[in-house]
Amino acid sequence: MAAGFTCPNRDGTKGTGGCIYCNNESFTEGVLFPGRPVEEQVRGTIASSGRLKAFRRLLVYFQPYTNSYAPPEELERTYRAAFCHPDVVGIVVGTRPDCLGPSVVDVLGAIARERYVSVEIGLQSISEDVLAGINRRHTVGEFTEAAAAVRRRGIDVAAHLIYGLPGDTRENFVSAAEFLSGLGVQGVKLHHLHVVAGSGLEGPWRKGEVRAPEYAEYVSACADFLERLSPEIAVLRLMGTAPREMLLAPLWSKGSREMSHDVAAELERRGTWQGSLRKEKP
């Protein structure tokens, strides 16, 4: 769902350019009724012909932009509006770690006492230098604090990571598995770097200053990551997608199903599994 919020990295609160990889239009492909009130979006989506009728209990996912970036009373109205249909049993809120202050967490916690709530927090990299370089405008420390605050309310937390960001390394990406395992998050979504039209990466990519990862490279990196990730953490996604008309690179011929199969096959080839190489703390 599109809640109609913006982002502190776009409206001048922290910056105006946004993260260099981001064009939020690339996240709205699955939003069927953008611009309408949340209740209309929920009811319209549930009634749409594309809905899988076998699934009788649904989570409403607030994804585009920063979905905890609004006054608390507006957040509460928006979140509770998602429960306008009896099939909706919970919400998933995608946001930034610097937009989860005490008043926001209070709203989420109150709803979580009645319904299921999950918060997905964009971390993207565990390197402060990389975060600064991509104009992310938050720190790893802010992520740690936000995740802890949300978890204290008994709310599930999932982290987003991107492989292949400019200036980042494979070692940093893999090390994030141990970092997240130590924090006790419930889920992780992995993405490979996309270059989409209209993002801050388009220009550097066209000049050859930025490269997108190769498919086999990313499969191998995902296997490295999973070997060091706690088996108690759900892997919610292994790759992101973008509309074909906006995606500049990488142009892989395989999709998410093939990615899941190929990563599983790579782990089997190695004789390893999720968490098999994790360094347990004494």
User: What residue ranges do the domains of the chain occupy?
Assistant: 24-270
For the beta carbon of residue 244, count every other beta carbon within 10 angstroms.
Answer: 8
The predicted pLDDT at position 28 comes to 56
Which stretches within 25-169 are classed as H helix?
38-47, 72-81, 102-112, 128-133, 140-152
DSSP state of 200: T
Q: Element (H or E) spanning 162, and its range?
A: strand 156-163
Instruction: For residues 42 and 48, give the distance between their C-alpha atoms in angstroms, rounded to a whole number.
Output: 10
Q: Which CATH number fits domain 24-270: 3.80.30.30, 3.40.605.10, 3.40.718.10, 3.40.50.300?
A: 3.80.30.30
Whether 226 and 232 have beta carbons less than 8 Å apart is answered as no
Q: Which residue has the tokens 């930034």?
A: 96
The pLDDT value given to residue 47: 85
Average pLDDT, 10 consecutive residues per value, the chain (282 residues): 88 89 71 83 82 75 92 97 95 97 98 98 98 96 98 97 97 98 97 95 96 97 98 96 93 96 98 93 52
CA distance 79 to 241: 25
What pLDDT score was predicted for residue 282?
46
For residue 240, give the amino acid letter.
Answer: G
Element containing residue 156 per DSSP (H, E): strand 156-163
What are the angstrom distances between the C-alpha of 76 and each of 48, 81, 154?
Answer: 26, 8, 18
User: How far from 267 is each of 172, 257, 263, 280, 281, CA to CA, in Å?
Assistant: 20, 16, 6, 20, 23
